[in-house]
Each structure stands twice: as C-alpha cells, then as structure tokens.
Amino acid sequence: MKKIFLQLFAVLGIICPFMFIGCDKDEGVLTVDKKEITLSAETQEATFNIATDTDWSITSPDIEVGLGMVNYKSWYELDKIGGEGNGTVTVSVKKDAIPTEDKTTTLTIHGKNDKKTVSVKFKK
C-alpha cells in the first residue's frame, strides 16, 4: 500500500508542473472600448481605444492604402490606421465632406489573433 502511494505521488509530481505551462498570459488579445461612435455636425470628432500587446490595423471599404498614402473615399477620416500595442484612434468628419444625410460605415480592427468592429455613424 505504501509503495502505491509513493508511485502515485511520483506520477503526480511529474504531471502537475505540466498543467501550469499553458497558463501564461495570452498573446494577441484585442479589445476595443466602443462598438459604436456617432458623429454629427455638432460633434465632428470622437475617439476609441484599442488595447492589445501586438500590432493592429484598421480597414474599411472607405479606406484605400497605397504607396505610403491613405485615401479616405468617404465622409470621415482617422488619425491613424495602425499601430503597435495600446492606442487611441480619433475619427473625425472630413471638413470638405460633411454629410447632408445619415451615414454609417464599419471599421474593422485587426489584431494578431482577433478582429473587432466599430460602427461609425453620422446623424443629420
């Protein structure tokens, strides 16, 4: 009986340390503090925060990137479309393209292992 307990403790002593190997902090977790932003003629700027420990980028059907230039084909613009680690992004209404009707677009924030969306609305 004593021999069985010693063998059991020996096996547990080998197995238990391996149970904690996978408990490190997850890399690539992406969080965004807002799901929706509403802009208007009175409120032409708003921000949202990105929290991650990796690189991130923002895409949208309204954003074209090429040759180091960013072209916003719509009524809004961002102060940045990518970064590393935590960041704050400012969304603003383009001064020369203030909408005359309600508008909605979706920003997709891409992280290493995840993606989130933020809906940006303009209310007339």
The answer as to whether 6 is a domain residue is no
H/E segment holding residue 53: none
Q: How many domains does the chain have?
A: 1
> Which domain, by its residues, includes 65?
31-122
Coil, strand or helix: which one is 123? coil
The whole-model pTM stands at 0.76
Residue 23 has pLDDT above 90, yes or no: no
Amino acid at 116: K
The answer as to whether 69 is a domain residue is yes
Model pLDDT, residue 51: 97
CATH number, position 97: 2.60.40.10
The answer as to whether 12 is a domain residue is no
Q: What is the mean pLDDT of the chain?
A: 86
The answer as to whether 100 is a domain residue is yes
The answer as to whether 24 is a domain residue is no
Q: With cut-offs at 50, 70 and 90, classify the pLDDT of residue 1.
A: low
Greater model confidence, 47 or 3: 47
Model pLDDT, residue 73: 87
Helix locations, the chain, DSSP H: 2-19
Q: Are 79 and 89 in contact (CB under 8 A)?
A: yes
